[in-house]
A and B are shown apart, each in its own frame.
Chain A
């Protein structure tokens, strides 16, 4: 191991330290411990280690590909082996307590005291344990902060660390025997040392352990517990929250991207295409790019996030609106060659600005291959943005080589106002504000008789929904009830009223096994209750 490293240091210039080597060597503490505790795995571990070394010796390693400024994979793909109900709560609590007590000090210590207040004995224990560790092991990483960067490969690196982890487990065993409150310790350990949970070495067992249980181990709270305001209307009014300072800084940040415009143009002129990534809406940046640079050039703006966009729309715009042909050939290959021929003949450069090339409607291989073959053309220049984390999976190597992207990190932190405006946000959808308001508006347009009929169904459903196999209100019953209240006079009239509900999907008809029709309202009971309450208030 050592001589290998020496080699590498010679190979690579001094200011550069080989990332991969360090990454390989620093195994998260937890993993070592875990293996030490389970003797079955130890063999496996040893095997992995040896094969690892073999590979290191025999295969060439990328030298420049992984730099120091790369994001550590361990950071992104943190794998928590077990999640409990209280994780979120603990985290929040940790933040709260740390921010109240000591905004600047290291939060972990504070947190320790805070959480474990009830059992001060543990604190003592922990302190003891730390002392023991410090005495026993001279290795640099006696605490559990698994951040890989502060692991120093000293001369006896492997042995000492393994021995230290050995003492760790010993200490823990002792503790387990002597203290009864052990269960609680382990419970609280979750937030005592978060990095302990990060395991980059994913054992398959762990994965299945996490995903095998069908049971969802989260609390049973629902949003219904909130006194729900009608968020949907407020959404638009309240501007996206951002602190003053951040607004300024974001302004500065966005400003810096303007300097890239000339370079983008230059890169585009050399038949590369430009792709922008990073969090925050990049629409504004691109719009400025467009107004600044494409004042005199034909360009096409595509909103990839537009929910009913099709690739045909794009081709139609190019072929019919721009090139003034009468129709678009049905075959994709023909379209592309037509565009190529005509643009070439006219000697015109067409700029294609695609906001969210990873948009929902463009997430299929056909759309992407069309875009790729368009982008490949000499006279078509593509500037695109991506936001989805898995967006790069859209392209295989042949598409990528057609796209010929240059990647630009354009992080803006601007809110995705237009991009998310179409999509029903999870929360509002969940809260049912939309459903409620549409229910209201349909309901208001009904005749009073129809309203009465609908209320009958609602009430029946609310009363009986608790039943295990709720089938809905039988048509016969509805008829008799409606007749009682003089809402309808005949079977046919009721059916006529019902068609209106069916058309608006306020009511569904279910047929039972015996052939009778049952009416169900496909809306959650809590919402219905809310609706009913409001109706009563109005009346």
Chain B
């Protein structure tokens, strides 16, 4: 391979035998990723990720659809009304309030364009702020897209326009002005339409600016003013994507401009709602075999909430976790949907099985077994396979009921005061997967609070909970696992937990329904009961109005005693809460207590965090102030971070010395200090004469400059400026 250092060029192409002309023959050879695709973990990863991606797509469509329909119908409306609009020079415009992280909304705008193309008009232009440095550029790209957007469709639609469009393709960008647009539009619609079509066929021209805030507002003002003078003859509609709030629009447009706009505001989901949706519907569900452990999950949400607020970023991070989870580990091919599990287990090699036996979570499982089974587990691969399949299916069942119970818990808990456990499913998930939530104080408090809930409220929550259970059951029913219960050998010896999973959900459903019925029925009795109580008390009150302090006390005492007698409703409620507690304790065990949880749950947070968050500055600092961290050498032990020894790399010495200085550094003094560190025992004069030291110093300084710690300064001779504090 030839060298890539040159004084005349900075870009080097290694085509490595690639020729554009004869690509078709050698094509298969050329994929560097091919080596990856053989392994089974890779296949499983691919499969699972594709599933997730499809789900995401669906979710996107769902979330966008309502909003997009609104906008499209607005544009349609404008289109129809335009004929009779009497207002002069007023541009109808829609403002779409997006979240602050705009890259998330690119897809939304693309979907919007597709929708408008389909339903309203083929003439849509999407202009990003970087394409609009000047008004000229803005107009050019808008007009070009408006005219050519038509052609793209026409080319595919009918050939009669072919000649026309090819002619138009010659239209250069710099010829695109609003005048050309006007001419083109009139040629296309106004002149033709009386003959061929009805006048309704006039199509609206839509211009979309997805990132309003990054536009130069003077340019936008001019643009709006220019357009407003054309709006009489051209049916234009503007759509702005605004990240912050509508006031941004008013701030950047003075009155004379904003008076030309007829603004209608649309709201899209704020980022965090969107995030919750993505998490709850896709990642926090049993449908995907890959799960994040509590910590990993917290990392993801922390990055979202505290760094970037970007849902795309979140999805990419999770994808990265998934990549890392599967990478190079064949036993992770077991992390698949239950239907493929048996096949995956059969494909495992002896080594893979051995690796599985090494898993930490296998040990507690092993300890419970009797001797014979233990030996079987280690000696007999087939037996081990069976157990494995059983256990992983059990794990899937566990996951199923775990998520179900988290959802249930969130339904019960979210309306409680103080929110000790958190409002959203994701918060609950983070808590439950870190520790055994049922033994914590907040959980107990929540249960207590539930014990005070009113009848109607409780009834409603149970209904909501039933809905959760139903959706959960619906989702699973189509892919109901067809499990052959392996009941050979000494499988009976293995202690089984109480069954979780599907059946569990069903029993919960039944129980909830009975409780609901009981509570609803109990309502009348209970209320009557309390009412009579109240009445008697009222009587007492009437009697005792002029009573003394003693009587009052007595009355209060009696009141407490009366309350102790539970109404029917209260009894049922208490039973219900007990039941809930029982259910949750059973199913909300944290994942790390489960056998083989390593296979389904990703928990290597520390590793992934470096790749997702990255800390270039921290790495530099560590390397410079404590090189031993990277070098692992024996010579550079430092007593504190600030101390210097002469064995350190040169850059590191120079760096530490420079931290002692203020904004300006005298190179001569720096060199002196540097030399003093390196040659402590020599005479001052000798040191500085050493060319070697000068060269080393020079190199260190120039590296620091390259790293951006210092720069040359003209304030004083032989001084450099420090760029950090």
Contacts and interface: CB of A to CB of B under 8 A. Distances in A.
Given A219-B666, A369-B130, A88 B649 contact: no
Interface stretch (B110-118, B300-308, B395-403, B506-514): B300-308
Given A63-B298, A266-B36, A398-B102, A219 B30 contact: no
Interface string B647-677: 1011100001101111111111111111011
The B contact surface, by secondary structure, is helix
A216 B328 contact: no
A96 B623 contact: no
A79 B725 contact: yes
Interface stretch (A49-57, A168-176, A421-429, A497-505): A421-429
Contacts of B611: 406-408
Contacts of A287: 1, 4
Contact of A298 (B16, B130, B616): B16
Interface residues of A, number: 154
Interface string B391-410: 00000000000000000000
Given A64-B298, A91-B657, A300-B12, A420 B651 contact: no
A404 B316 CA distance: 8
B13 A300 contact: yes
Contacts of B692: 238, 241
A413 B623 contact: yes
Given A70-B615, A100-B681, A524-B717, 11 more contacts: A75-B621, A88-B660, A88-B669, A108-B639, A218-B666, A246-B631, A263-B328, A269-B33, A278-B616, A388-B708, A405-B614
Contacts of B1: 287, 290-291
A313 B673 CA distance: 44
Given A272-B320, A291-B1, A401 B312 contact: yes
Contacts of B617: 71, 76, 389, 392
A152 to B, nearest CB: 19
B48 interface: no
18 contacts: A67-B606, A70-B618, A83-B662, A107-B640, A210-B662, A221-B666, A222-B668, A227-B688, A238-B696, A241-B650, A241-B695, A246-B649, A262-B328, A321-B13, A397-B308, A400-B308, A401-B310, A524-B717
A64 B642 CA distance: 28
B698 A427 contact: yes
Contacts of B31: 297, 349
B4 A270 contact: no
Nearest to A297: B32
Contacts of A218: 661-662, 664-666, 669, 716, 719
A316 to B, nearest CB: 8
B619 A278 contact: yes
Contacts of B307: 65
A87 B620 CA distance: 23
Contact of B327 (A65, A77, A266, A430): A266
Interface stretch (B160-168, B492-500, B699-707): B699-707
A186 interface: no
B188 interface: no
B44 to A, nearest CB: 14
B131 interface: yes
A317 B645 CA distance: 47
Nearest to B15: A298
A231 interface: yes
B4 A303 contact: yes
A175 B688 CA distance: 41
Contacts of B724: 77, 389
Interface stretch (A6-14, A128-136, A468-476, A479-487): A6-14
B702 A425 contact: yes
Contacts of B649: 242, 246, 413
B680 interface: yes
B691 interface: yes
Given A296-B16, A348-B30, A397-B310, A313 B630 contact: no
A245 interface: yes
B32 A303 contact: no
A99 B706 contact: no
Interface in A247-261: 249-250, 252-253
B412 interface: no
Nearest to A329: B173
Contacts, number: 419
B14 interface: yes
A441 interface: no
Contacts of A250: 631
B5 interface: yes
A462 B12 CA distance: 49
A409 to B, nearest CB: 5
A391 interface: yes
B529 interface: no
A39 interface: no
Interface in B289-311: 295, 298-299, 302-303, 305-308, 310
Contacts of A98: 643
B646 interface: yes
Contact of B708 (A10, A225, A390): A390
Interface string A109-152: 00000000000000000000000000000000000000100000
A371 to B, nearest CB: 12
A205 interface: no
B623 A92 contact: no
Interface string B706-725: 11111010011111100111
A279 B32 contact: no
Interface string A67-81: 101110001111110
A234 B657 contact: no
Given A65-B303, A389-B617, A411 B10 contact: no
Given A88-B673, A324-B20, A426-B712, A222 B695 contact: no
A406 B612 contact: yes
B38 to A, nearest CB: 13
Given A313-B9, A407-B610, A270 B323 contact: yes
A389 B677 contact: no
Nearest to B431: A11
A425 B706 CA distance: 9
Given A243-B647, A346-B23, A301 B320 contact: no
A524 B647 CA distance: 37
Nearest to A87: B660
Contacts of A405: 614
Interface string A379-414: 000000011111110000110111011111101010
B331 to A, nearest CB: 17
Contacts of A156: none
Given A13-B295, A298-B16, A76 B702 contact: no
Contacts of A269: 33, 36
Interface string A280-320: 10000001001101111111111110101100011011000
Interface stretch (B82-90, B434-442, B573-581): B434-442
Interface string B10-44: 11111111101101000101111101100000100
B673 A301 contact: no
Contact of B630 (A303, A413, A428): A413
B630 A12 contact: no
A277 interface: yes
A519 interface: no
A428 B283 CA distance: 58
Contact of A71 (B622, B694, B707): B622
Contacts of A211: 663
Interface string A344-366: 00111101000100000100000
B4 A426 contact: no
Given A11-B434, A263-B327, A80 B680 contact: no
Those 3 A-B pairs whose CB atoms lie nearest each other, nearest first: A407-B614, A306-B10, A83-B662
A241 B696 contact: yes
B472 interface: no
B308 A419 contact: no
Contact of A95 (B605, B643, B716): B643
